[in-house]
Amino acid sequence: MDQKQKASGSDALIAQLDLAESIPEMRELRMWSYELLGIAADVAVVDVGCGAGRAVAEMGMRGAQVVGIDPDERMISLARERWPGEDFRMADAYGLPFVDGALRGYRADKVYHAVDDPARAIDEARRVLASGGRIVVVGQDWDTFIIDSDDAALTRRIVHARADMITEPRVVRRLPRLLAEAGFVDVSVEAHMMVSRDAAAVTILADMAAKVRSVGAISEAEADGWVAEQRERGRDGRLFFALPMFVTAATRL
Ligand SMILES: C[S@@+](CC[C@H](N)C(=O)[O-])C[C@H]1O[C@@H](n2cnc3c(N)ncnc32)[C@H](O)[C@@H]1O
């Protein structure tokens, strides 16, 4: 991928993340993740794969000492631009810029699907957390997008083909076991349903269709027809897009 393609990929991701952030259920989910982490004044916490940085700012507003890390330079510059005064650093989940046991909290939201060795990332989380520290990992299962359409078979193909393009599309199913194997205790899993009937969600669906079209999983005519139907649904209030978001939490011994 050249620099230009990389930049436009980040722009599209940022637009989708901004949209996701504005959905009320997603806001509630972020607030719940802070509760599970035990965010309070002076708690040292990292937001891994912080993207444009909203969660870092929100935890900072609660008095926590937060560092946002992300390996994508564009994300880090955007986060610094949006939230000046917060601490953002370029790093990835395998090499966190903290000494052993430095943190009370570790948060990763919609990140582990992009991490090719989740067990190694969890080992790194364990290293930086102090005893009693909390880890909270939020994410979707890429095989469980629920989208209404007149063509259920094509929709299923699009959802599954998109999942096949993701590094770890079903990692949420393994996270509880991986955390337990890494020695974490009090492992809990919850699912929170995100439902959107807003026409704005068509952007996300159109992006899915374009991506699976780009790898030849569907034809151009199928992509165009499916997106046109979703746009029409957006216009006349029939759009339905739902996604269970999983929250996996645990405590470091
Ligand atoms: C879908 S975005 C989510 C951003 C943010 N957490 C949010 O909820 O809006 C995924 C982020 O994970 C970052 N990421 C990808 N691979 C990573 C890795 N190995 N370690 C840490 N972050 C990673 C990406 O650069 C991107 O900013």
Instruction: Kindly give the number of the ligand 1 atom that is closest to the alpha carbon of 108.
Output: 6
- Do the domain assignments include residue 38? yes
pLDDT at 12: 84
Inter-CA distances, 62 with 68, 117, 179, 252, Å? 15, 32, 27, 23
pLDDT digits (tens, 9 = 90+) for 114-137: 999 999 999 999 999 999 999 999
Is ligand 1 within 6 A of the CB of residue 118? no
Q: How many Å separate Cα 247 from the centre of its chain?
A: 11
Ligand 1 site, residue 46, Cβ cutoff 6 A: no
Contact 106/135 with Cβ under 8 angstroms?
yes
Q: What atom of ligand 1 comes closest to residue 17's alpha carbon?
A: 9
Inside any domain, residue 206: no
pLDDT, the chain, mean: 96
Decide if pLDDT at 161 tops 90: yes
Cβ 71 under 6 angstroms from ligand 1: yes
Identify whether 232 is part of a domain.
no
Q: Is the Cβ atom of 49 under 6 angstroms away from ligand 1?
A: yes
Residue 83 falls within a domain, yes or no?
yes
Q: Is the pLDDT of residue 4 over 80?
A: no
Under the banding of pLDDT at 50, 70 and 90, the label for residue 11 is confident
Total domains present in the chain: 1
- Determine which residue's CA is closest to atom 16 belonging to ligand 1: 114
| pLDDT greater than 80 at residue 9 | no
pLDDT above 80: residue 46: yes
Of 195, 194, 197, give the one whose Cα is nearest residue 234: 197
Q: CATH number for the domain including 189?
A: 3.40.50.150
| Ligand 1 within 6 A of CB of 48 | yes
In the predicted model, what is the mean pLDDT of residues 159-172? 98
3-state helix/strand/coil string of 8-48: HHHHHHHHHHHHHHHCHHHHHHHHHHHHHHCCCCCCEEEEE
Which residue pairs, CB below 8 angstroms and at least 24 apart, start in 221-225? 222/154, 225/151
Asked whether the beta carbons of 113 and 167 are under 8 A apart, the reply is: yes
- Per-residue pLDDT, 33: 98
pLDDT at 1 over 90: no
Q: In this structure, is residue 59 part of a structural domain?
A: yes
Whether residue 212 is contained in a domain is answered as no
Burial class (CB in 10 A: 0-12, 13-18, 19+), 153: exposed
Asked if pLDDT for residue 231 goes beyond 80, the answer is yes
**Is 159 contained in some domain?**
no
Rounded CA-CA distance 91/43 in Å is 21
* Pocket flag, ligand 1, residue 168 (CB < 6 Å): no
Q: With a 6 A CB cut-off, is 76 part of the ligand 1 pocket?
A: no
Closest to 191 in 3D by CA, of 167, 173, 169: 173
Per-residue pLDDT, 51: 97
The residue whose CB lies within 8 Å of the most ligand 1 atoms, and thus the one to mutate among 22, 27, 34, 70, is: 70
Backbone angles phi, psi at 204, to 5 degrees: -65, -45
Buried b (16+ CB within 10 A) or exposed e, 14-47: beebebbeebeebeebbebbbebbbbeeebbbbb
Domain membership of residue 81 as a residue range: 3-141+167-196+245-252
With respect to residue 115, please indicate whether it lies within any of the assigned structural domains: yes
